[in-house]
Amino acid sequence: MENHLLCFARLAHAVARRALPIPLSRYARPAYQPSSLFAALLVKKHLRLNHRGLEVLLQTSGQFRRLFGFLSVPDTSPSGGSPAAGSVPNW
């Protein structure tokens, strides 16, 4: 299973690199390349994971982080300043 998944991830990353533009701006250095994020989303869809499941997969697997070029794992949790779901803001 691991080899099949890594082969799929390599193929997804290769296709994404050819299909998507490399830089979004020559002045801004993005933390994550668009092709790497797209390849990670393809793996997410292939495994039928939610965003949190993909985050855990990337945190636990150094091979995927190296393959996609992630120095850190993209965080999918809501920011600390946003109100919790279902809470009423005090305006």
Q: Which of 17 and 26 is assigned the larger pLDDT?
A: 17
pLDDT at 84: 52
C-alpha distances in Å from residue 11, one per residue of 24, 29, 42, 62, 86: 22, 25, 10, 18, 41
C-alpha distances in Å from residue 23, one per residue of 10, 36, 85: 20, 12, 35
Q: Which runs of E-coded beta strand occur in the chain?
A: none
Average pLDDT over residues 71-84: 64
Average pLDDT over residues 27-37: 76
Q: Delimit the domains of the chain by residue range.
A: 2-23+31-68
pLDDT at 2: 63
pLDDT at 42: 92
**Global confidence as pTM:** 0.71
The residue type of 87 is S
